[in-house]
Amino acid sequence: MHAKEMRNALAATEASWELDDVIDDDVDVDEIGVEFGLGALPEPLGAFTARYPRIRPELTTPFLPYLPYLLRWKRKLRKTLPKAWDWRDVDGHNWIWPARNQGGCGSCVAFATAAGVEAHRRIETSDHALGIDLSEAALFFANNRQCNPGDPRYGWFNGAALDYLMEEGACFEENYPYQPLNQVARIPEGTERTLKITGYDSTTNTTQMKRWIAEEGPLVASFGVYQDFFAFWSNGTGVYNHVTGPYRGGHAVLVVGYDDTRSSWIVKNSWGTTTGHPDGCFEIASGECGIDDRMYLVEDVYD
């Protein structure tokens, strides 16, 4: 599809995003929309959706937005959720570090869950500058997962990754650097330090998702990627919604905020950065492509 045809399709559907003006009308957007790895698989029947979740207050109870250095019971009560929340700017600090790049490997689940653990560790310790770099390679390949579509071990499940983070944890990038190609996990002897989680929870309720984001931290989610998302990621701006093109697969991401005014979720990707997405984050419309079908909350990171 040429850029002019896509612009016409975006206009006809009153889409909430647009192609960059520097893209000429006669350019084939499928050629400039670089395709990256996906790899999020539908959860298998009977998979856990929560393990050892903390008991939380009902949605009808007062809301306690996060503030660094304050215990939950000392936070200021609010009766309603804020209209927007973004962990890239909470208390004047960015708690979300720039996105890494999974390349062509179907390892997005490892990237999304590792990013969740890293962010929650900073939030739980009230240290936005805490340097944490977990090994996505160790998390992915230690579970005998592989990069390429068609391989029976291709991709992964959000719940399975969270199970492994409970039971085994993840070592650090310096112990096992990531490469976007099939590997066998051989973690060096003497690698003793890992981060683990005590449990996780999940919900299909969007109000609960927003409450968890603002009270606890980012959430792990998946959505369906269509061909036009590659064009949006490489050359688009605005709030993504699917307009045209075939389905390409599932993709796991970290949801770092929301904006009710724009009816959007704010999402950290694992495809590096682009001109329109300089920190590797983007916005996707609420309810779009299954982004809020279910989101997962990691709990209580420990060293």
Whole-model pTM? Answer: 0.95
Q: What is the model's pLDDT at position 33?
A: 64
CA nearest neighbour of 253 among 278, 280, 230:
280
CA nearest neighbour of 138 among 183, 181, 185, 104:
185
Whether 269 is catalytic: yes
155 has a pLDDT exceeding 70: yes
Selected catalytic residue, list 251, 277, 281, 289: 251
Show the tokens assigned to 214.
Answer: 């603002």
Selected catalytic residue, list 108, 147, 171, 289: 108
190 has a pLDDT exceeding 80: no
Selected catalytic residue, list 128, 242, 269, 277: 269
CA distances from 75 to 70, 71, 93 (A): 6, 7, 18
Q: What is the pLDDT of residues 10-66, one digit of tens each?
A: 999 999 999 888 888 888 877 776 788 999 999 999 999 999 999 888 888 889 889
Whether 120 is catalytic: no
Whether 251 is catalytic: yes
